[in-house]
Amino acid sequence: MSDTIAAIATPIGEGGISIIRCSGSGALTVAQKIFYTSTGNSVNELSSHRVHYGSIYDPKKNKYIDEVILTWFKGPKSYTGEDVIEISAHGGGFVSSRILGLVLEYGARPAEPGEFTRRAFMNGRIDLSQAEAVADVISASSDKALQAAIMQLKGHLSKQVNTLYERLLSLLSQVEAAIDFPEEGLDFQKREISITELQHVYREINTLVSSYRQGRIFREGASVAFIGKPNVGKSSLLNALLQEDRAIVTPHPGTTRDTIEEKMRIRDIHINIIDSAGLRNHPESVEEEGIKRTLVAIENADLNLVIFDRSQPLDNNDDLVCKEVRDKPILVIINKCDLLENWSMDTLKKKIKTDSPMFISVKEQSGLDTIIDAIYNHIVDTKTSSETTFISRERHRAHLVEALVSLEKTIESFEQQLSEEFIAIDLGIAMNHLAAILGKSIEDELLDQIFNAFCIGK
Ligand SMILES: Nc1nc2c(ncn2[C@@H]2O[C@H](COP(=O)(O)OP(=O)(O)OP(=O)(O)O)[C@@H](O)[C@H]2O)c(=O)[nH]1
Ligand SMILES: [Mg+2]
Distance from residue 290's CA to the centre of ligand 2 (Å) = 11
| Residue 235 CB less than 6 A away from ligand 1 | yes
- Secondary structure element (H or E) that encloses residue 422, with its range: helix 420-438
Choosing from 249, 258, 286 the residue with most ligand 1 atoms within 8 A of its CB, the one to mutate for a pocket test is 249
Predicted pLDDT of residue 389: 84
| CA distances to 9, 98, 99, 100, 257 from 89, in Å | 11, 11, 8, 11, 53
Predicted pLDDT of residue 35: 93
| Residue 233 CB less than 6 A away from ligand 1 | yes
H helix runs in 276-367, sequence order: 285-300, 316-324, 345-349
To the nearest 5 percent, what fractions of the chain are helix, strand and coil?
Answer: 45, 15, 35
* Cis peptide upstream of residue 283 (ω within 30 degrees of 0): no
Question: CA 206, 199, 406: angle at the middle one, nearest 5?
Answer: 70
Predicted pLDDT of residue 337: 97
- Among 229, 231, 328, smallest CA distance to 282 is for 229
- The CA distance from 221 to 419, in Å, is 47
Smallest CA separation from ligand 1 atom 23, residue: 256
- Give 121's pLDDT tier (boundaries 50, 70, 90): very high
- The CA distance from 202 to 215, in Å, is 20
Predicted pLDDT of residue 30: 92
Smallest CA separation from ligand 1 atom 26, residue: 251
**Proximal ligand: closest to the CA of 340:** 1
Atom of ligand 1 nearest to the CA of 307: 19
Atom of ligand 1 nearest to the CA of 229: 25
Smallest CA separation from ligand 1 atom 21, residue: 231
Distance from residue 219's CA to the centre of ligand 2 (Å) = 29
Predicted pLDDT of residue 211: 92
Give 378-393 pLDDT, tens digit per residue.
999 877 766 778 898 9
User: Which is more confidently placed, 239 or 387?
Assistant: 239
Contacts of 312-315 with CB under 8 Å at 24 or more apart are 312/231, 312/336, 312/342, 313/342, 313/343, 314/342, 314/343, 314/347, 314/348, 314/351, 315/229
Average pLDDT over residues 145-167: 90
Helix (H, G, I), strand (E, B) or coil at 432: helix
In order of their start, the domains of the chain are: 5-126 (3.30.1360.120), 131-217+393-439 (1.20.120.430), 222-379 (3.40.50.300)
Smallest CA separation from ligand 1 atom 27, residue: 251
**Proximal ligand: closest to the CA of 253:** 1
| Residue 278 CB less than 6 A away from ligand 1 | yes
* Minimum mean pLDDT range among 30-44, 280-294, 340-354, 412-426: 30-44
Choosing from 305, 362, 368 the residue with most ligand 1 atoms within 8 A of its CB, the one to mutate for a pocket test is 362
- Give 41's pLDDT tier (boundaries 50, 70, 90): low
Average pLDDT over residues 42-63: 85
Distance from residue 348's CA to the centre of ligand 1 (Å) = 20
Q: Are 56 and 99 in contact (CB under 8 A)?
A: yes
- The CA distance from 255 to 312, in Å, is 17
Q: Are 348 and 309 in contact (CB under 8 A)?
A: no
Cα first-last separation, the chain = 20
| Residue 239 CB less than 6 A away from ligand 1 | no
Give 276-286 pLDDT, tens digit per residue.
999 999 878 77
- The CA distance from 108 to 422, in Å, is 51
Kindly tell me if the per-residue pLDDT of 72 is higher than 70: yes
10 Å Cβ neighbour count for 399? Answer: 23
Predicted pLDDT of residue 410: 94
Predicted pLDDT of residue 231: 96
| Residue 68 CB less than 6 A away from ligand 1 | no
- The CA distance from 186 to 178, in Å, is 6
Helix (H, G, I), strand (E, B) or coil at 431: helix
Q: What is the mean pLDDT of the chain?
A: 89
Predicted pLDDT of residue 444: 60
